[in-house]
Amino acid sequence: MKATQTLHDLGQSLWLDNITRDLLNSGTLKRYLGELSVTGLTSNPTIFDHAIKSSAYDEAIREGLEKGKSGGSLFFDLAMDDLTRAADLFRPIHDRTNGVDGWVSLEVSPLLAHDTARSIAAAKELSARAGRPNLFIKIPGTKEGLPAIEEAIFAGVPVNVTLLFSREQYVAAAESYLRGIERRLAAGLNPQVGSVASMFISRWDAAVAGKVPKPLNNRLGIAIAGRIYQAYLELLNTARSQRVYNAGARPQRLLWASTGTKDTQASDILYINALASPFTVNTMPEATLKALADHGEIGPVMAADGGDCEKVLAEFAKAGINVDALIALPSSSSFMPSRAPATSPTSRKCGG
């Protein structure tokens, strides 16, 4: 049995962290559903920035330019075309699982990360424009993003809360989701609005690479994940959460993101093995997905109590790593590189 199937049978959803028109046109994405147990997909502006450099987009770019589209408007047209096609491909999974799985994600402009009002407006507009029940709108879990998350959920917009790094950020995002659901219940609205909370893992290790003793290499992200997983399970069991579930709401699932191994000296499925956990999602780059399919065994399931995460974090503290400082200053610790497209669809020649 493929390791991808093993993870799926464990109860973890495997989503592909990639989307290109070539993946769609070639039938490769469809094949991943059948052969590698892929049940969803995530994307971000950086992924599309790389994708549109392919000649597969030339005709669509020409047509957009002829209609007077340019820059961000054309960029989101291209992204929307790909993601609605992907959403249709995953729709049978979404229907079969009653909306638990089979999702794709489209991110609001990264330029809106610190603009609450415009993030809310963009989330509503993109969701309505897509017209697909299985499309998440990605909203960063920034201070300004939290009220946008709550408002989007209240409006019935499914949300993938993105760019979360710590337990504290996760809890804040989860509370925004719960507030949105509670407001829907108070207003007599259906509380079933899908959401995931995306925790970025490998960037922790990238941020401290070369700054810690060798035995601590590639252990910080996994330790942080253990701490978050414990908080996730505890939150699922609170009286507050259970009240909204009893009223028909769906739990916001924890999603492991940034799970591709950055260290060439480490296992190519380092984070996949370490983050094996039921009722979560692991969204992985295409290379990591293929590597996983070649492996036959998966490591033990994550410990519900976080395992040795606090002990490991204490070792990092002894090594001079201030985890709280890294959380407080993500932009200066390489956690949050610019996600705005470096290339506009109109900045290259079609066919180039």
CA–CA distances in Å: residue 182 to residues 124, 185, 237:
19, 5, 16
Task: Report the half-sphere exposure of 29 (CA within 13 A, side-chain side).
Answer: 26
The domain spanning residue 82 has which CATH number?
A: 3.20.20.70
Strands 104-107, 135-140: pairing is parallel
| DSSP character string of 99-166 | TSS--EEEEPPGGGTT-HHHHHHHHHHHHHHH--TTEEEEEE-STTHHHHHHHHHHTT--EEEEEE-S
From the candidates 138, 262, 318, 349, which is the catalytic residue? 138
Q: How far apart are CA 181 and CA 163, in angstroms?
A: 21
Say if residues 201 and 222 touch (Cβ distance below 8 Å).
yes
Which residue bears the tokens 């009286």? 239
**Known catalytic residue: 124?**
no
Q: How far apart are CA 302 and CA 288, in angstroms?
A: 19
| Residue 21 placed within a domain | yes
Residue type, 33: L
The mean pLDDT values, 10 residues at a time, for the chain of 352 residues are 92 96 95 97 82 79 78 82 96 97 92 89 95 96 94 98 95 98 98 98 94 96 98 98 97 97 94 97 96 86 96 97 79 46 47 34
| Residue 348 placed within a domain | no
CA 326, 328, 329, 331 torsion-angle sign: positive
Percent of the chain residues topping a pLDDT of 70 = 93
| Residue 150 placed within a domain | yes
- 95-125, pLDDT tens digit by residue? 999 999 999 999 988 888 888 999 999 999 9
pLDDT of residue 345: 56
pLDDT of residue 344: 52
| Residue 221 placed within a domain | yes
- Which residues, including other chains, have CB under 8 Å from residue 160's CB and lie 6 or more apart? 42, 103, 105, 107, 136, 137, 138, 139, 195, 196, 198, 255
Which residue bears the tokens 């989503």? 15
| Residue 349 placed within a domain | no
- 332-351, pLDDT tens digit by residue? 344 554 455 544 554 444 33
DSSP letter for 337, please: -
Torsion of CA 305, 308, 314, 319, to 10 degrees: -140
Into how many domains does the chain fold?
1
Nearest Cα residue to 255 out of 199, 324, 339? 199
Q: How far apart are CA 101 and CA 93, in angstroms?
A: 6
3-state helix, strand, coil in the chain (%, to 5): 50, 10, 35
Domain that holds residue 167: 3-335
Q: How far apart are CA 253 and CA 99, in angstroms?
A: 12
| Residue 297 placed within a domain | yes
| Residue 344 placed within a domain | no
| Residue 346 placed within a domain | no
pLDDT averaged over every residue in the chain: 90
Q: How far apart are CA 200 and CA 224, in angstroms?
A: 10
